[in-house]
Amino acid sequence: LPAIFSLLSKDTGDTYELVLVPWKRAVVESERQSGGITNISANKAREAFYDFSLPIYDDYIQMVVIKGKEFAYSGLWSLKPKLVGVTSGASYGEDIDKAIADGLINVDRDPGQVNRMKKLLLGRIDVALVGNGSVGFEQLIASDPELKANRSKFVVLQPPLVRDQLHLAFA
């Protein structure tokens, strides 16, 4: 993300001060109007509160399972019997958010993807949602020694759950 904003700065002449904080804190601080928020999905609830930029990039949300526990994904109903690890406060698009709110998808919320992947390893969740496509998945695995040591146990299901357009937004 910092690299994307560096390129934007070169193209537009705008300057950005990026402060990397946990997602939930970023949402709270942006709602208090202490700055903007990036990597945020637009949805109806957020559109009532935020002004959104044009999409910055497409985030492909991957479904990760433990080898041997793969399943054929054929729509949101495929997730009904599963416990799905998601980021607290994240939106995964209108359809998925509605399925979660309606109880079609049972979720376990956490603050970060490393913890989520460790829960997957321990069998505490069935599916981990991981952002930033295959590159993001590989960077996530490389970021933690335990995940790296267990790389062969993870399977990324195809197709990705969703293509999520991410924005810069201000309250």
Position 61 scores a pLDDT of 93
DSSP state of 152: G
Q: Is 141 exposed, middle or buried (0-12, 13-18, 19+ CB in 10 A)?
A: buried
For residue 1, is pLDDT > 90? no
The per-residue pLDDT for range 112-159, each reduced to its tens digit, is 899 999 999 999 999 999 998 888 999 999 999 999 999 999 999 999
- Please give the angle made by the CA atoms of 4, 114 and 127, to the nearest 5 degrees: 105
Task: Collapse the DSSP code of 160 into the 3-class scheme (helix H, G, I; strand E, B; otherwise coil) and give the result.
Answer: strand
> Which of 114, 131, 115 has its CA nearest to residue 41?
131
